[in-house]
Structure 1
Amino acid sequence: MVVVLLAVRARLQRVFRISEWQILLLWSIVAGVLGALATELFRLALHAVDVAVLGSGGGLVEIARSLPVWARVLSPTVGGLIAGLLLVWARRTAAQKATSDYMEAIVLGDGRIPVVQTLARSASSLVSIASGGSIGREGSMVQLAALCASLLGRCFRFPVARLRLIVACGAASGLTAAYNAPIAGAFFVAEIVLGSIAMESVGPIMVAAVVGNIVMRWLPGYQPVYEMPVFPEIHGVEVPLFVLLGVLAGGGAALMLRGLAASRAAFARLPVALPWRLAIGGLIVGCISVWVPEVWGNGYSVVNAVLHSPWPWTALVALLVAKAAATMATTGSGAVGGVFTPALFFGCLLGALFGTGAHALWPGQTSEPFVYAIVGMAALLAGAAQAPIMAILMVFEMTLSYQVMLPLMAGSVVAYFVARSARVGSMYEITVRRQAQFEERERLRAQHVRDLLEPAQTVVGPETGVEEMRRMFLEYPVKYLYLVDAAGHYLGVVPLKSLNAADLNPQQPDIALSFVSQDIEPLHADIDLEQALERLLQHRGERLPVIESLKNPVLLGVVSKSAVLATYVRLSA
């Protein structure tokens, strides 16, 4: 069947003269449809598990409130244990070099996502979330959407570059279907995963995101996850408050990332198997939910409640602390899921707290707390994900209000730089790797010849005899010796061929100074590597001498062609 379809595709390309990029746009539509359907399938599976196990298909917070105390504790504990067993199975079925993470498959891999391992991890995530784990469901949704796109590309034998791009299209469709934000979904993949907004890649990704959004709206029971209130007009005097909120959100993002890292390290030190670690994480969530049932799940219902009704600051603080502890326990124990939604949750509560305080101090000059909650969502997400453009676009698409843009830009950009200054990385490992690679490339670009110096081992003085020079030529596989005076100043080179001709001219003095040549112009220590490489490529040998400067021609050493080329290879990696 696949062979027939491939033949039909090739014939259509010949008959209608369809170019490669047009074909790719058509495939991105298919990937968008598959991504949306995979997302909806995961959502339906969550609902089915809650109905079958907990007896209710409503929101997890509502389910937690309706359960007795013992069930609140038992549900996430048992769920964590089962999820851990599924993860152990996923590890055993994984190929040695395979990775189920769609980001790595796009950036570092060949676009091939293993099926069994991904399904096992998604099942583990489903159990963790359905049983009350404090973690987002968007991670598994996007992963399944990317898997469908990967299978599509593998089925039709896409080359590696196109397969990676079609997987990115599936991921964008999945995120769009999860949050009803097609532009932000496309920019999430472009900004975080690909690290590029080049139109050659963003075009198909945007098409897939739009298609995914359209398909989700056609499906029965669709409704946006966040019900945003009308954003009011913001006056200029209030903008500094949003900048200050950005500073706090950036600090909050840094604390969140440090807390997640510390939690993972703490659970990794526990002398128990992975299933028991997830069970302990679930037990912590269950114990917290005895007093604060709102820690169950991804927090959609809580965010919507904060956005539509005023909360006392004491309740906001208590919920923020409890949710943070529950999220650290769930994520740190090793549960599979996303921290995208928890970042929005923390940003909402932090913004609401800030807005409550600002409104209490200046009631006539500040907006209602929900306004700051909306901006806080984008600001903390921008800092935690290190993706301010995506965060701004996501909340803008949720509100569909132009009035929100100025506060969003002020808060999100400031939060991004504050979190970046804290050097805590990003909640996505691929972003951390890319930033490290960027910093390494910048460091390499700033290097000069001085940084790649090697000792000059074939140095002779003006009075060095012919026999000594011949011995050095035999010892070192070089064609030139470097001649320096008593002060170490570079005078020129002694070519091997001139010594070979010395026997033909017995009248010539047998010291190095009589054979000196200016065939090789030395490099200056402070020229950049681009200039050095140009000179080395023109030079037939492997090395060139390096002096301090024209005014101070002290021979510092040599630089090799292989060392400079190796640096350029690392720059292009």
Structure 2
Amino acid sequence: MPSFLLTAARYLQRLFRFSEVHLMLVYAVIVGVLGALSTIAFRDGLAIVQHLLVGRSGSFVEMARTLPWEFRVLLPTAGGVIAGTFLVLANRYTAGLKSDYMEAVAVGDGHVSVRQTLLRSLSSFSSIVTGGSIGREGAMVQLAAMCASVVGRGVRFEQSRLRLLVACGAAAGLASAYNAPIAGAFFVTEIVLGSIAMSSFGPVLVAAVVANITMREFPGYQPAYQMPAFHDIAGVEVLLFIGLGLVAGIAAPQFLRVLDATKTLFRKSRLPLPVRLGVGGLLVGILSVWVPQVWGNGYSVVNSLLHDQWLWTAVLTVLVFKLVATAVTTGSGAVGGVFTPTLFMGAALGLLFGQAMQALWPEAVSAPFTYAIVGMGAFLAGATGAPLMAILMIFEMTLSYQVMLPLMLSCVMAYFISRSFDGSSMYEITIRRNREEQERLRLRRTQMRELIRPAETVLPLTATLEELTQTFIRHSVKYVYIVDEHHRLQGQVALQDLTSVLTGDPSEQKKTAADYLRRDFLPVITPEMSLSEALQRFLTHQGERLPIVQSSTDPVLLGAIYKTSLLDAYYRLS
């Protein structure tokens, strides 16, 4: 089928004389189909192996409940060891290569390593099928992106188009995993590409939609979550959803900090990868003895939270145990996504918030599950730094217009609150982009006082010709700055004005710096000038440096500004 699709694409290009833009849309369709097929293969593979292990497939929570406690401990441990072994192979045979699609799109050349992706996907498969508390969407998206990279390299796409095609594959994988094509497209453009431009968003959206259509043609298709009907929210209850966004915005960065701290802890242990992942699986297995809901990505538990009656103590217990299980699974080095566990955290947090509000204000507060639905989006917005994607994902899941008002308010509030902490995100590429943006903002506010360097070629008005000559010899500059007794800049002496010394005229030997002084020749810089203002000064001067003075009315010489320092700041700003 892939070869047939490629042949069809070439035929259509020749037949209709497609432009590069139109051709990109054709390949986006191909990548959408391949992304859906790779997702189906991974999903069905999990079901087959799960059935071989325990004689049934379906919910990992139900699978854990039916197993004796010894197997609940043993199975995740063995799965972790096997997953670690695959990771060792991935690192050994593909050393130095990159498999992460985000890096390939954002900072790479679009080349996604096939061997490394397959080995890491097998590692993720081993962790997931044995109950690891991690999402399966990570491997699904990675496989879809790999297929897109293979197609792009096969038809010899240039680097920019190859990166865009890999982004299309990632969107197809996410749309297939969650049956949310619009949110999948916005995830890739908002997080991975970093901007929503039609030239890139169009192909990405086409790939996501085609992937979703393809998924619907296969058996087993169903919405990611079975959402109950969302009722209208009116009046002052809207303020409660703003409060939920505030809580989610505070909690999401702490969730990410726990994950990072656990990764650091496991990394410091210096255990071999198979042992490290085995320990992570062992801890998940021990937790599942008391709370079997820690198995899997939390998908079935979220559906239960939305439809069943839960006591707040039970919700809180599952929330804490699931947090620990997810932390030790990801911290040990398991390959997979935390997207679905993040949705679980938001649903549990929202349900607890809704139950608390209903206890305080029972006659005016909606059912707690409405807060669970909005909590999923708010927590996701706070954790990913992508509020638009979070809003669209929950909307696609509920297909309810009534959810939009509280959802938008809650997601935006969560996003800004979480950003006020440290700009943390579950994705490294987002953290890097936030740091670069902060650096650009800092540079825009940069004043010249921050770039001052010593002006080593400074002499008084009474400096002799010999002192001037020696200064030019030592520093190899075109100008020497001349100051008065109060260190105020009076002007400069140019090297070309001393050429008469070479003639040996005795009268020249009696002259001082004041005799060669040029006033108002060089433009000067003041400490409060911005980068752009200082650059304009350099555009009128061909030299490497300019003097910086206290002010135009009080020209006390502070030092010099070098063109290289200015251009370096501009380079980091761009």
Q: Is the 8 A contact 1:310 1:369 kept in 2?
A: no
2:555 aligns with one of 553, 556, 560 = 553
Q: CA deviation at 1:455?
A: 0.9
Calculate the aligned-residue CA RMSD, in Å.
2.0
Matches within 5 A, 1:5-404: 16-96=16-96, 98-404=97-403
Secondary structure at the aligned position of 2:377 is classed as helix
| CA distance in structure 2 between the partners assigned to 1:84 and 1:10 by the alignment | 42
SS in 2 for 1:380: helix
CA distance in 1, matches of 2:557, 2:14: 64
Residue type at the aligned position of 1:38 = S
Task: Give the deviation of 1:44 after TM superposition.
Answer: 0.8
Alpha-carbon displacement from aligned partner over 1:82-135 (angstroms, at most 9, x marks no partner): 111111111101132x11111011111111011111101100101100000011
Whether contact under 8 Å (1:258, 1:424) holds in the other structure is no
**What does residue 513 of structure 1 align with?**
514
Following the alignment from structure 1 to structure 2, what is the Cα–Cα distance between the partners of residues 9 and 409? Answer: 40
- Unpaired runs of 5+ in structure 2? none
Amino acid at match of 1:258: R
1:278 positional shift: 0.8
Residue 123 of structure 1 aligns to a residue in which SS? Answer: helix
Match of 1:564 among 560, 563, 566: 566
SS at match of 2:455: coil
Contact 1:355-1:373 within 8 A present in 2 as well: yes
Distance between the aligned counterparts of 1:14 and 1:245, measured in 2? 55
1:264 aligned counterpart, secondary structure? helix
Equivalent-residue separation in structure 2 for 1:147 and 1:405 (angstroms):
34
Whole-angstrom CA distance in 1 between matches of 2:518 and 2:88: 70
1:484-503 alignment runs, 5 A limit: 484-501=483-500
Distance in structure 1 (CA, Å) of the matches to 2:11 and 2:292: 60
Aligned to 1:420: 419
**In structure 2, what is the Cα distance between the partners aligned to 1:56 and 1:420?**
43
Deviation at 1:407, TM superposition (A): 0.8
Contact 1:257-1:424 within 8 A present in 2 as well: no
1:298 shift after superposition: 1.1
CA gap of 1:282–1:105, structure 2 versus 1, over 3 A, is same
Q: TM-score, normalised by structure 1?
A: 0.96
Q: Identical aligned pairs, as a percentage?
A: 55
Letter in 1 for 2:63: I
Name the SS for the 1:184 alignment partner: helix
How far 1:18 sits from its partner (Å)? 2.2
Q: Which AA in structure 1 matches 2:77? A: T
Q: Is the 2:381–2:412 contact (alpha carbons within 8 Å) kept by the matching residues of 1?
A: yes
Cα distance in 1 for partners of 2:288, 2:336 equals: 19
Gaps of 5+ in 1: none
TM-score, with structure 2 as normaliser: 0.96
Q: Is the 8 A contact 2:9 2:26 kept in 1?
A: no
How far apart, in 2, do the equivalents of 1:371 and 1:174 lie?
Answer: 28
Task: Letter of the 2:48 partner, please give it.
Answer: A
- Residue pair 2:381, 2:415 contacting (<8 A) in 1 also: yes
Return the letter of the residue paired with 1:536. Answer: F
Inter-partner Cα distance in structure 2 for 1:5 and 1:487? 80
C-alpha offsets along residues 149-177 of structure 1, whole Å, 9 cap, x if unaligned?
00000101100100000000000010011
> What is the deviation of 1:422?
2.1
* CA–CA distance in structure 2, aligned partners of residues 146 and 3 of structure 1: 17
Which of 112-121 and 263-272 deviates more? 263-272
Letter in 2 for 1:81: V
Stretch moving more, 13-22 or 39-48? 13-22
**Count of aligned pairs between the two proteins:** 570
Matched-pair contact (CA < 8 Å) for 2:523–2:541: no
- How many angstroms does 1:501 deviate by? 2.7
- Please state how far the C-alpha of 1:284 moved relative to its aligned partner: 0.9
Deviation at 1:280, TM superposition (A): 1.0
The offset of 1:201, in angstroms, is: 1.2
Cα 1:286–1:471 change in 2 (3 A) is same
The one-letter code sitting in structure 2 at the alignment partner of 1:48 is: I
- What is the Cα deviation at residue 15 of structure 1? 6.6
